[in-house]
Structure 1
Amino acid sequence: VLKDGNYTPEHKLLTNYWFRHIAEFFWPLYAGIILTEAITGLPMSKVSLMQFPLSLSMAVIGYFVFIKKIKNNNSTNSLFLSSVWSMLKSVWAILAAILLYGIFKVDLSISVLIAIVLLILVTHPSKEAIKISFKKSLSPHLILLIFGVLSFQMIIEISKAVEFIPALATTYNLPEIIIVFLVTFTIGILTGMVSAYVGLGYAILAGFLYQPELNSGLIMIAYLSGFAGVMLSPSHLCLILTNEYFGSDLMKVFRKLIPAITLLMIAGLILYFTPWPGLFIR
């Protein structure tokens, strides 16, 4: 879409980088979503549905901040619409599983099985493709990651460290949402890893997020804040590689990326103060 010389390397990077991360708020195959359920107990379907408006907000912000600046011509529009259509064709089976589980209360394993069968019937993949997919789905790395995170969570709970952060907030009269933002954003920007701010941050913030009661609104804010930190992290591998590919100036990138992330945070705060997150309390 951006082949001519009218677009700076920074604009190309930002457009690519922004839209590549839109699905991280709801895609159930992302480690962040899987770990959120494993740690907080909030079902994946509810996490995905609750956070889906954040992906929509990100798409709208990306359109007005980045896409609008692309010269409007038939070729560009055609390629953009084609990309959107391709994305929808790729995610329909996953969305079907989420809807079956979240809305129609079908058991998660059965919902996923139905979605897989439908996907195979519609796309007719080869036996080799199916074999490779199943092999990749049994990721030892993800299993070890979940085991490590849950072990860390258990240590935090046994040591009573889980009570320290809420007590600190009470002592200094700090709003819960500020503490949640600071912890997850800081971990996100320092590590550049989703698994770090979910795995470490959520355990540290257990007293706010899921103990003694589940707080779906703060879980959403924790995820969004950590995501914002990761997107702005100089150590984020995705940003490093994309910057290297386009040969862009990172300082110029951050000057345009920070306002976009700020708009996304504002959208998340507006959503937080609506009844929406409360609909997903188990």
Structure 2
Amino acid sequence: MVFEGLLALAKVLGVFGCMLAGMRLKLGIGPSILAGGFLLALLFGMGPGAWAEAAVSAALTWQCLSLAAIVVLILMLSHVLERTGQSLRLMDALAGFLPSRRLRLIFFPVLIGLLPMPGGAAFSAPMVRQTGTPLGVTEDEMSLVNYWFRHVWELCWPLYPGIIMTAGLLGLPLSTVVVHTCAGSLAFALLGWWFILRPMGPRLKALDQTAQDQTPPARDPLLALRLGAPLIVAIAGSFLLEAAVASSFPEASFEVGIIAALAVAIVVAFVQNRAGRDFLVQSLLQKELRQTLVLVAAIFAFNQVLTEASVVRELVKLGGDAALLAAAVFVPLLVGMVAGITMAFVGASYPLILGLLDQLGLRDQALAWAVLALVSGFTGVMASPLHICFVMTCQYFGVDPARSWRKVMAPCLGLFVFGCAWFAVLRAL
């Protein structure tokens, strides 16, 4: 059984290598992932016909279609704010409230991170560029800032599906889970500062010192609110509409509220900038929209192969059903890295972990083991070259995905080490 797990691992790693090679050879991120899914299907016994059927069925699911709609709306809103100069004007209006250059650089990714929006990195990327370019920050550095700080809330924010699913599977109040995971978000932010922001420190600090001799930017709260209205509508509207949908239509998907809020935000942006039909057509004909739709379909096709070819079940054999530590660390880490989605590793590993805890009479330690699995799996998600925010960020800034991926490894390793240490603390308590 262990040999079968090792063989499955070798196949998966080989597929990852092929996908990264395709990206490096400029074959396109979406086509590289689609080809990787096809190769994975062949290696795990699925024929070309079965793969094609799985890819089409995955592309037609509500999850895929809703994600595609969300990402398209995000790109349209970003396009309007960037092309009209509103995001730059908003950054200027906020300058008086954000004296630190480093704070300005991470502000929008952190703000957008409050919204559990798939592909939200595309939303904040133009704002990071408009903030970072005048500061002399490189495209590689901006891509790392945008990717990392976009996810600073994901380990504790109660609107993220992974946190909600964790609480549901454990049968615990959401507040209890958040209290035990919020330290992870703090560690995540500190790791981002140490590995990403700190190396830029001398340049940005010199700019801050130069700015002290200049007249400080004026503070106009009303102007900032007016210019930030589309973002406020998108974020606050998503929260409110998501809650309204959940209370009025319990069986409806939470994405409905996000889609509606983004649509309203786009209308607000168009009205504020008096943009007409021609601008709308330009937004819809963006090359990035077509590339993103291919990317979303490719990721869902890849995940469908994971399910239908029983890839996760084969990987689980590597640790053995009796190996609790492997189930709580290795399985979520690997599934998170393969799938690039938090809910994938939560759904794949938590039932196994809880079953093992019941067998071993350790159910009272379920929260500690769940937190370990959550941090391990999220480390895998952040280290995944299939993470949609990662691929969209690399695509927007035009950076080499393989080079960016290597730079993410150090903070990811730090996050994993923190998860192990925090697990030891929780068990002792």
TM-score by length of 2: 0.43
Task: Give the letter for the 1:135 counterpart.
Answer: L
Is the alpha carbon distance of 1:231 and 1:132 closer, same or farther for their aligned partners in structure 2, counting shifts above 3 Å? closer
Residue-by-residue CA offset, 1:39-59 (whole Å, 9 max, x unaligned)? 111321111111111111111
Specify which of 7, 29, 34 is matched with residue 164 of structure 2: 34
Unaligned runs of 5+ in 2: 1-130, 213-231, 247-251, 257-312
Tell me: CA distance 1:11–1:143, structure 2 relative to 1, closer, same or farther (3 Å). Answer: closer
Given candidates 130, 135, 158, the residue that maps to 2:241 is 135
Shift of 1:205: 2.3
Summarize the Cα distance change of 1:25–1:210 in structure 2 as closer, same or farther, 3 Å threshold.
farther
Task: Determine the C-alpha separation between the residues in 2 that align with 1:267 and 1:43.
Answer: 24
Alignment partner, residue 341 of structure 2: 193
Compute the TM-score of the two structures, normalised by the length of structure 1. Answer: 0.64
Partner of residue 413 from structure 2, selected from 252, 255, 262: 262
How far off is 1:277 after superposition? 5.3
Query: Does the CA contact (< 8 Å) of 1:185 and 1:226 recur in 2?
Result: yes
Q: Give the match's secondary structure for 1:273.
A: helix
Kept in 1, the 8 Å contact 2:149–2:192? The answer is yes
Q: 1:59 aligns to what?
A: 189
Larger Rg: 2
Judge conservation of contact 1:209–1:219 (CA < 8 Å) in 2: no
What is the match of residue 301 of structure 2? none
Distance change >3 Å, CA 132–CA 193, structure 1 → 2: closer
When residues 132 and 234 of structure 1 are mapped into structure 2, their CA distance, relative to the original with a 3 A threshold, is closer
- 2:384 partner amino acid: S
For residue 101 of structure 1, what is the aligned residue in structure 2? none
Distance in 2 (CA, whole Å) between partners of 1:244 and 1:255 is 16
Q: Give matches, 1:1-282, under 5 Å.
A: 1-4=131-134, 6-70=136-200, 71=203, 72=205, 73-74=207-208, 133-137=239-243, 138=245, 140-142=252-254, 168-170=320-322, 174=323, 176-208=324-356, 213-214=363-364, 215-274=366-425, 276=426, 279=429
Deviation at 1:266, TM superposition (A): 0.8
- The total of aligned residue pairs comes to 207
Q: Deviations over 1:52-81 (max 9, x none)?
A: 111111111111111112222328999xxx
Which runs of 5 or more structure 1 residues have no equivalent in the other structure? 79-125, 145-160
Kindly, what percent of the aligned residue pairs are identical?
28
Deviation of residue 134 (structure 1)? 3.7
State the one-letter code of the partner of 1:223.
L
Change (3 A) 1:197 1:74: same
Alpha carbons 1:35, 1:195 under 8 Å: kept:
yes
Shift of 1:209: 5.5
CA RMSD, Structure 1 to Structure 2 (Å): 3.3
